[in-house]
Amino acid sequence: MPGLQKITSVRFFNKDLEMIGEVRNYTSLIFIRRWETFGEFELHTKIQRPDLFQQGNYIMLDNDPYRSGIILEHNDDTDGYGVNSLEDITIKGFSLLYKLFGRWTIPPPANNGYYIWNSKPVEDIMYDLVRDSAVNPTNNKRKIPHLVLGENKHRGEKLTYQSRLKRVSDELNALSLQSGLGISVKLDAENKLLVFEVLDGIDRSYAEDNPNSYVFSKKNRRVTKRKYSYTAKGMANMAYVAGQGDGEEREIETINDDLTGDDRWETYIDARDVEKESEESESNTTLADRGRVKLAEMSAAESYEFEANPIDYRELWDLGDICTFYDPENGGYMLFEIVTEIREVYEGDAVTVQPTFGHTSASISQSISAANSSGTTERAGLSAKFKVIFTEYAEIQTLVANKADIKDLTAITATVETLRAKTAEIQVLVADKASIGDLNAATARITELETDTADIRKAIIDVAHIGDLTAITADITNLKAGIADIDTAMIGKADIDLANIKNGCITTAMIGTGVIGTTQIADGSITDAKIVGLTANKITAGRLDAAQIEVVNLNAANITVGTINGVQIAPGAITGDKLAQQVNDQITGAASAAQQAQTTADGKNKIYYQNTQPGLTGNKKGDTWFDTANGYKAYVWDGTKWSASPFGSGALSDAVNSSITTAGSNASTALANAAAAKTAADQAAKDAQTAQSNANAAKTASDQAAKDLEAAEKNLAAVTGRVDATEEEIAAAQAAVTTAQNKANAAAQAAASAQTKADSAYTFADQAKKAAATAQTSADGKNTVFYQTAQPPTTGRKTGDTWFDTDDGNRIYRWDGSKWTAAPFGTNAIANAAITNALIANLDAGKITTGNLAAARIGAESITAEKLAAGSVIAGKLAANAVTASTIATGAINADKLAANSVIAGKIAANAVTAGTIAAGSVNADKLAAGAVTADKLAVGAVTADKIVANAITTAKIAAKAVTANEIAAGTITAAQIAANAITATQLAAGAVTAAKIAAGQITADKIAAGAITVDKFYGTAITSKNYVANSAGMKINLANGTIDTKNFKVDSAGNVAMTGTLTMQGAQSMTVKNASASLVGTVAFKAVSGQTWSPGALNVLGKDLLHLAAGDASTTKAFVEGYVGGYNLFEMGREGSNYGVWMGTSAAARIGVSNAQSPQVYAEGCTKIVNFTVASGFSKPSGELNNIVYNSMGKFCLLSFSLTGNVAAGTHTKILTVPAGYRPPGLIFSAGVGGVYGWFQIKLQADGGLYVWHPSGMTSFRGTILYYL
């Protein structure tokens, strides 16, 4: 069968590549194959084989040399101790390529310690790296046992490459990324070899001429789930590759320097480990190739991770192949990429394949390398830790030193407590203190800076606290500071741009008097909101626009000169009665002509808005032309010519509207018909869409029903495949399949019916659409007239369409082809003397250009305060009693405005006099009326002792409970002051009554409360009843030694209890037993147990730590403990003489026991059962042969024995019998049987109970046995 199959065997090999065992039963297995680096695996099993799972052993899946690995982790959590434990054993590791993770490119003695390849194919470089580092190294101790090289086919691009102190697996990974070649180490078990190979995939990308094409897509069901990823984080496509040298002499190569703008993402590659080429070379090929390899690692990562149909895996596609992924859900996106990773998952009988196209992120090799390496770039191979180092020249990536005296330091990062350097070129400097003669730094973060000269190109400082800055010249291009606290700043020159000043940071206090002149104020920056007041004398030039002045209540009679033209008339303001009779007649004639035109063939008139006379042919009576160049003067076609038809005094309200309405009536009707047809077409389209939606819903329901049917069928297969499935479960699953089938059939019929209705609805909609198009064609070419408040829509308009805005006095607008343009009537459209005073609703004063307004023309109260000039209102202008309280501003009248004695009590409002208005000492007693001072008039704390007259406070003045103990002087209350019975218990303090306070004989029985006398109140040593006689009658309790003596119950001083009679404990009582240390040993109690046949309870004997039940003692030779119910012993434990044993059961034929009289001593009866199996058609059981299943419930295992005859075809798995449900294995089992003269044959027992046999040449008789657990 093609595709991925379940792994039946995981083989284990020791370090000598000898097979030491295999595991067939596992709960799950994950194996990840990778093209460009090593893969990994994870195995979960319940089997305890620590000898197989040792670190360093190898595994192989189903004898596949490419699916092999090395064990690196073994976890045994079968006790379930771990978090989220699976209670199993986990084995983890990597594929065999991981062995090269532990090898480095150690400097060779030649080539100045470099491995160098000049223009070599990538595959050659890969094989050389492995050969020199692990297969045939100069140091034999570095050789990896059993590792050999595969065949070198010299593939890949030719590179000039160098390597020194690099991890071999990382170098192989980088070369694989750059070339597309794969790398692997396979396990050759037959020859006991580990073979390193370079692999090349197959181009299966989609193309018409590619017979090997393979496309992954959900559309062709080769993909079930997918995840698309793209990331450009850390991406670079242009590189500066820096080789050896210093400063200006350092060798720099650029890669992809032709990229520009947003397409250019730069990176820096430190390649100082690459040896210099000859001086004659114009460029360093090795540096360029190093850059290309590194850029391949930094490219944008684009990938698809998905779950694929495993049927074609390793047959039509495999790891390393270039395939195509088509994603219809991502806009039909197609990705042509290498299959870089395949995740194989085996769980039970389920097998899934999860490939990855492209690259998701850093490879596992790079991730592990980053976690295990702190950097290897070096110059001369020096690597050590020194307390003191003296060197003329040191290139160090990271330097951590207590003290470093260095003449020339070049470092990426240097953390130094004290740095003294003549010249320091440092990218990032973090220092507590740095004394530097000359500092050139791109970025410097310094706690304390002492410098003679600081040349800083850019300083970005959040907070800078500078005690004293003295600078002769400070040229700062860009200073940005959140807070700058500067005590003294002596600056000769400071050029600060406006953009450098934060909004709101310059306050009024910072601006000197008189420093803001006209030149400091930008033109137009003083707005209306900035002006508090403006007097007329400030306006010395220019003109006041009347549009800015609001004048109210202006009577038209005040307009004596000037001309009001059509612009001043609001649309719709002139009605028909305002026009002269002649104009009315003309409009009536126009209306008559329009009415007459309606009866013509098509009854449709045209309205022209243009500045030239329309043509003289093709017109109909009633066609109207508004001359836009002559104030919209109206003309009507009278049949032979265009006749002027200006509006008269009564035209606009009635006749004109009627004329225009009539002229556009038929056009409106045509448009209405078109709109109705369009509405019908739209409704038909909606109905069609609804029908299609219903069809889609029906199709969805049908699809869901099909899925439900598929799920029900899968459930039936799962139920019938279970060994413990009951007949009821199988019947229910079958019924669910039948129900799902019926629903699926009904849903399919409904979907077909709904689709038929949708098709019919679409046909009807198409017909309605054509009818609407016909109606619209009929309506085209005819103008539309709108009477409405809102602007008509701008779509579907024709030039000349007219809109009367009904909420703006019927103002007229005309569609000019792109927008609605106001089209008011001009002067020539209105007859002379047609506008009378009554027609004018209001007039903008800005239109009054000459003449004067008489006082009689100004309405009452129309002149407000803001219209009056300052100081223009004087006393002589005010009428008597004109100033009232409401016209006086608050606070305007103060004391110096009042005449002497002018303010009397009657003039003061209630509560008007407050403390703030009364002078100190001005209010004395004669100023207050009787009862005038109430409590609410006094301020808090205002009444002090000196304010109170002697003896003024009487008892009646003191509130209840107002006097507390704190207010009473010591010793002032004597017995004479205490009333009889006034002191009760509540008045006595705790412990206040002592024995000395109680008179003799005052405490009698009635004075003692019940229960008040406790043991500690007794002074004597015993309590004795009056009738007490030792051992005869009464009771005596000795309080001194704790003894109790009665006739039938006694307790001695040691705590021993003796009693005669019956001890009864009723209900939830218990007897507790403790040891000499008073620790609980056990209890005897009645325990209620609900829900049992022997409810309501039973005797419960509990030993806290240990319960010891004994029958007899060390000298007893016969003792038994029995559980006897209903005439039968449910259990028995005992000994008689030398025989002893224990057993339990329900009958003599069903029990488990241990007896020293039997061999073996442990026995079980009634735990086995004989079960028959069903023989497949064409096979039979020979008489006298054993054919059955023996089931043992003690271990839940079955022993299946068969001896059958029948024809088994050659090389074919043939089913010969079926194991009944309840006795089937949990998974697939293989075994071997004997076919007589045919020799050995294979037996396969499946989880569904089917038993198959296989023989390469066929057989007719066979027998076998399988032992398996349920």
Query: Which two three-digit tokens encode residue 830?
Result: 């209105």
500 pLDDT above the threshold of 50? no
pLDDT band at residue 667 using 50, 70 and 90 as cut-offs: low
556 pLDDT above the threshold of 50? no
Distance, CA of 757 to CA of 346 (rounded, Å): 48
1042 pLDDT above the threshold of 70? yes
Whether the upstream peptide bond of residue 355 has omega within 30° of 0, thus cis, is: no
Beta bridge partners of 813: 803, 822
The neighbour count for residue 201, using CB atoms within 10 Å, is: 19
C-alpha dist (Å) from residue 1073 to 802, 1060, 1062, 1165, 1202:
111, 20, 19, 41, 63
- Please give the residue that has the higher pLDDT: either 550 or 983: 983
What mean pLDDT is predicted for residues 175-197? Answer: 95
357 near 374, Cβ under 8 Å? no
1049 near 1037, Cβ under 8 Å? no
What is the SS3 assignment for 979?
coil
Pick the most confident of 94-103, 753-762, 1085-1094: 94-103
> What is the predicted pLDDT for the residue at 1194?
87
Q: What is the DSSP letter of 632?
A: T
Q: Is the dihedral of CA 217, 223, 224, 228 positive or negative?
A: negative
What mean pLDDT is predicted for residues 990-1000? Answer: 73
Highest CATH level, class, for 1168-1269:
mainly beta
Cα 111 → chain centroid: 55
Which residues, 6+ apart, have CB-to-CB distance to 128 below 8 Å? Answer: 115, 117, 120
Query: Which two three-digit tokens encode residue 596?
Result: 């007459």
pLDDT band at residue 561 using 50, 70 and 90 as cut-offs: very low
Chain mean pLDDT for the chain: 75
What mean pLDDT is predicted for residues 749-762? Answer: 76
Distance, CA of 1259 to CA of 1095 (rounded, Å): 65
pLDDT tens digits for range 432-475:
555 565 555 545 555 555 555 555 555 555 444 454 554 444 55
Cα 790 → chain centroid: 46
Distance, CA of 1091 to CA of 426 (rounded, Å): 84
Poorest-confidence range of 268-277, 1179-1188, 1199-1208?
268-277
Annotate 1034-1089 with three-state secondary structure.
CCEEECCCCCEECCCEEECCCCCEEECCCCCCCCCCEEEEECCCCCEEEEEEEEEC
1230 near 1243, Cβ under 8 Å? yes
Pick the most confident of 167-176, 637-646, 889-898, 917-926: 167-176
> What is the predicted pLDDT for the residue at 568?
43
> What is the predicted pLDDT for the residue at 1067?
67
What mean pLDDT is predicted for residues 878-897? Answer: 68
> What is the predicted pLDDT for the residue at 502?
46
- Please give the residue that has the higher pLDDT: either 338 or 681: 338
Distance, CA of 1113 to CA of 1163 (rounded, Å): 28
Distance, CA of 1135 to CA of 1119 (rounded, Å): 6
1161 near 1168, Cβ under 8 Å? no
| Exposure string over 276-305, b if 16+ CB within 10 A, otherwise e | ebeeeeeebebbbbbbbbbbbbeeebbbbb
The torsion defined by the Cα of 874, 878, 882 and 884, in degrees rounded to 10, comes to: 10
What is the SS3 assignment for 722?
coil
- Please give the residue that has the higher pLDDT: either 815 or 195: 195
**Which amino acid, 548?**
Q
Beta bridge partners of 11: 22, 60
257 pLDDT above the threshold of 80? yes
Beta bridge partners of 31: 41, 344
Query: Which two three-digit tokens encode residue 658?
Result: 């009627």
Tell the residue number behind the tokens 């180490």, with chain if given: 185
Query: Which two three-digit tokens encode residue 48?
Result: 């305890």
Tell the residue number behind the tokens 């045919």, with chain if given: 1238
CA end-to-end span of the chain, whole Å?
Answer: 28
> What is the predicted pLDDT for the residue at 570?
47
799 near 780, Cβ under 8 Å? no
Distance, CA of 260 to CA of 951 (rounded, Å): 105
pLDDT band at residue 383 using 50, 70 and 90 as cut-offs: very low
In 243-290, at which residue ranges do the beta strands (DSSP E only) sit?
Answer: 252-255, 266-270
Distance, CA of 715 to CA of 787 (rounded, Å): 70
pLDDT band at residue 377 using 50, 70 and 90 as cut-offs: very low
What mean pLDDT is predicted for residues 919-948? Answer: 65
> What is the predicted pLDDT for the residue at 309?
84
134 near 169, Cβ under 8 Å? no
Poorest-confidence range of 664-668, 931-935, 968-972?
664-668
Tell the residue number behind the tokens 């949990």, with chain if given: 1226
What is the residue extent of each domain of the chain? 10-96, 201-232+300-345+356-374, 383-497, 566-664+783-842, 673-779, 1118-1165, 1168-1269
Query: Which two three-digit tokens encode residue 954?
Result: 């009487």
The torsion defined by the Cα of 187, 193, 196 and 201, in degrees rounded to 10, comes to: -40
> What is the predicted pLDDT for the residue at 274?
78
Would you mind telling me the total number of residues written for the chain in this entry? Answer: 1270
> What is the predicted pLDDT for the residue at 273?
76
Distance, CA of 1234 to CA of 1253 (rounded, Å): 11
1179 pLDDT above the threshold of 90? yes
Instruction: Provide φ and ψ at 943, rounded to 5°.
Output: -95, 110
pLDDT band at residue 620 using 50, 70 and 90 as cut-offs: confident
Distance, CA of 822 to CA of 1267 (rounded, Å): 101
The neighbour count for residue 595, using CB atoms within 10 Å, is: 16
Query: Which two three-digit tokens encode residue 1025?
Result: 């009843």
The neighbour count for residue 591, using CB atoms within 10 Å, is: 23
What is the SS3 assignment for 1062?
coil
Instruction: Provide φ and ψ at 1125, rounded to 5°.
Output: -145, 130
Percent over 90 (pLDDT), the chain: 23
1026 pLDDT above the threshold of 90? no
421 pLDDT above the threshold of 60? no
pLDDT band at residue 546 using 50, 70 and 90 as cut-offs: very low
The torsion defined by the Cα of 137, 139, 144 and 147, in degrees rounded to 10, comes to: 30
Single pTM value for the model: 0.35
What mean pLDDT is predicted for residues 92-112? Answer: 93
pLDDT tens digits for range 267-311:
998 888 777 766 555 567 788 888 888 888 888 877 778 788 888
Distance, CA of 553 to CA of 1218 (rounded, Å): 111
851 pLDDT above the threshold of 80? no
- Please give the residue that has the higher pLDDT: either 376 or 232: 232
What mean pLDDT is predicted for residues 228-252? Answer: 85
What mean pLDDT is predicted for residues 319-324? Answer: 93
Distance, CA of 1267 to CA of 444 (rounded, Å): 78
Poorest-confidence range of 408-417, 842-851, 854-863?
408-417
Q: Nearest to residue 190, comparing CAs of 8, 11, 6, 9? A: 11
What mean pLDDT is predicted for residues 339-361? Answer: 87
1241 near 1262, Cβ under 8 Å? yes
